[in-house]
Amino acid sequence: MKPYAAVSCLRLFHPLAEVVRGRSHGMTAVLAASLLASAASGFAPEHGAHADPAHGAAPTHAPAAAPAAKAPAKPAASAPAAAPAHGAAPAAKPASTAAPAVKETAQLSNVKPAAKPAEGKAESKPAAKAEPEDAPVDADKALFLLKEGNLRWLSNSQTNPNTSSQRRQSVADNGQKPFVTVLTCADSRLPVERVFDRGVGDIFVIRVAGNIAGDSETGTIEYGLGHLKTPLLVVMGHTKCGAVAAAASGAELHGKVGQLVASINPAVERARRANPSAQGPELAALAVKENVWQTIFDLAKNSSEIRELIASGKVKVVGAVCDISTGKVEFLGEHPWQTELLAAMEKDAAPAKSATANAEPAKGGH
């Protein structure tokens, strides 16, 4: 792709693209700061105008139908029950993401329910899974553990790791060493540790209505990434989100709830511009994914610590959407324009850093 063709696509995605383009036209720091302020106010061009599949269409979260149960060879009284509907194989993703899905399925194909005991033998509980000391994992391994656990949740074959009394005592005595930080909604239908089939001390969770990133959430995430050293950050929205629905409907809200929902308005406006005919629940569903991207943008824009961790490769940030009807988590990957946005944000922050350095008094001065 030619340089200016790439910049043209970026303009459709986010106003910070103007900052990237401005580098080749001598854009001043004042104009860059102005565009950054516009982004925070929601005056962003459509995300959905480009061909990236993560923005172009509404997500398909409904699972495929469950396979028919096998006819049992044994008497009906001892026949195993048919698998529940949410244990069926997840629905196929769009063509553009089909290849990774096939590879992922192959890697996780060993996640199966426990076998039924032989006839005539008393059913015994499985031996407790060994709980080794927490070992450092990289971002890719952490993401794999989440996907693996979500498949167990979908197939109703959870192993409930790290939930024993010994585990609780261990993390109390030795401290927590989670392998992932998750920012998600406060909705009670979204039990994070259960959705990923993880246990005590595994996931550092931040929950707030609408999975937005205000100052408190951003500071807590800085603690998870910087102090606890989690290599992966997942920003996860979910279907039927009440906060997003309120923003999409234009409901009149008061007090702090109104301020919270106002943070979601830019995502709703992008979804509306990309899908002019969408209204009501359809618009809200489209805005859920846009709101995930908005939160990732806000975190990078408002936290130099998070921005530097991403740029250095120490932390990976991915988006996700959980279908609360099935429990299936759709992982969206990293922000499609992460590199360009980080470069533009860093360039915009440079004058402020310089001004702060110049304002510091000289050593020995009064």
Q: For position 302, what pLDDT does the model report?
A: 96
Shared domain check, 12 and 140: no
Q: Which two tokens stand for residue 323?
A: 């279908």
Shared domain check, 329 and 348: no
Dump pLDDT digits (tens) for 257-299.
999 999 999 999 999 999 999 999 999 999 999 999 999 999 9
Q: Flag whether 81 is in a domain.
A: no
Residue 109 — very low, low, confident or very high, per pLDDT cuts 50/70/90?
Answer: low
Dump pLDDT digits (tens) for 31-75.
344 435 444 444 333 443 333 333 333 333 333 333 344 444 443
Domain range enclosing 45: 1-52+339-358
Residue 108 — very low, low, confident or very high, per pLDDT cuts 50/70/90?
Answer: low
Which CATH number goes with the domain that contains 274? 3.40.1050.10
Q: Flag whether 65 is in a domain.
A: no
Shared domain check, 290 and 166: yes
Shared domain check, 290 and 184: yes
Tally of domains in the chain:
2
Q: Among the listed ranges 100-104, 174-178, 325-329, 353-357, which one has the minimum average pLDDT value?
A: 100-104
Name residue 32's amino acid. Answer: A
Shared domain check, 102 and 22: no
Query: Please, which residues have CB within 8 angstroms of residue 327's CB and are 6 or more apart in sequence?
Result: 86, 150, 153, 154, 195
Q: For position 177, what pLDDT does the model report?
A: 96
Shared domain check, 354 and 329: no
Shared domain check, 1 and 104: no
- Which segments of the chain are extended strands (E)? 180-184, 203-207, 232-238, 316-322, 329-333
Q: How far apart are CA 234 and CA 228, in angstroms?
A: 15
Q: Flag whether 188 is in a domain.
A: yes
